A = this chain, B = another copy of it.
């Protein structure tokens, strides 16, 4: 499997899935995106990204059992696959490495 690129929005969505755990379904993820970033996003944008992430093998999904809440279709719950976690780690490593080398940032990072 080739090392597919991981876009900016894709990465954030991936992280959001990891954070939401068993609550990670499309609608909730879109909501969480808005609260965490302060920017709005459509369901469609969220869905197609989630979908691509699955096709790349970075995410897996399964349908949940119906809940006790009023109505509603069954949720599709997403979770991070092993290779998704690897991609996230690789991205973090690259970024922290670059930040450390950027003078304007490395100064601020000395507060340990």
Q: State the A residues within 8 Å of B (CB).
A: 5-8, 11-12, 15-16, 18-19, 21, 36-37, 80, 85, 88, 92, 94-95, 97-99, 101-105, 112
Contacts and interface: CB of A to CB of B under 8 A. Distances in A.
B92 A15 contact: no
Given A36-B94, A37-B94, A15 B85 contact: no
A18 B92 contact: no
A12 B112 CA distance: 25
Number of this chain's copies in the complex: 2
Q: Is the interface of A mostly helix, strand, loop or mixed?
A: helix
Given A36-B94, A37-B94, A101 B5 contact: no
A100 to B, nearest CB: 10
A25 to B, nearest CB: 17
B7 A98 contact: no
Given A7-B7, A36-B94, A37-B94, A15 B104 contact: no
A102 B19 contact: yes
A85 B21 CA distance: 33
A15 to B, nearest CB: 4
